[in-house]
Amino acid sequence: MSDLQEAIYRIVVKEVARTEPKRKENFLNKKDAEKLIKKYTKQYTLQEFLNANEAANVLGMSLTTFWRYRQKYPVPVYVIDGVKRYKKSELIKCVEDNSVRGYA
């Protein structure tokens, strides 16, 4: 090993030794990691896929207006276990694509 490589090696060894306790302290075990994954996955799916009532609320319209809007425009829909669900991001994109931008 050259002098430069040896110096770099010593610096790396010192840094690893210095940060070792902190890494062990912040380390998640498998059970805790699985809990966090389940929590955030569930939260994401609950927020992202909406029923018709929630979709109408997100778009700021009544349920009747939402049904009329669905008849007029191709709103993407997912059927999950026999229940129609709407993806929040796709709803917003659909309204933006089928609206006329204006200034008040």
pTM over 0.85: no
Domain range summary for the chain, segments of one domain joined by +: 51-104
Give the pLDDT of residue 83: 83
Q: How far, rounded to the nearest angstrom, does the alpha carbon of residue 11 sit from its chain's CA centroid? A: 39
CB crowding 71-83: b at 16 or more within 10 Å, else e: eeeebeeeeeeee
* Burial (Cβ within 10 Å: 0-12, 13-18, ≥19) of residue 91: buried
Question: What is residue 66's predicted lDDT score, i.e. its pLDDT?
Answer: 93
41-95 per-position pLDDT tens digit: 655 555 678 889 989 998 899 999 999 999 999 899 988 778 889 998 899 888 8
pLDDT in the model for residue 102: 76
**CATH class name, domain 51-104:** mainly alpha
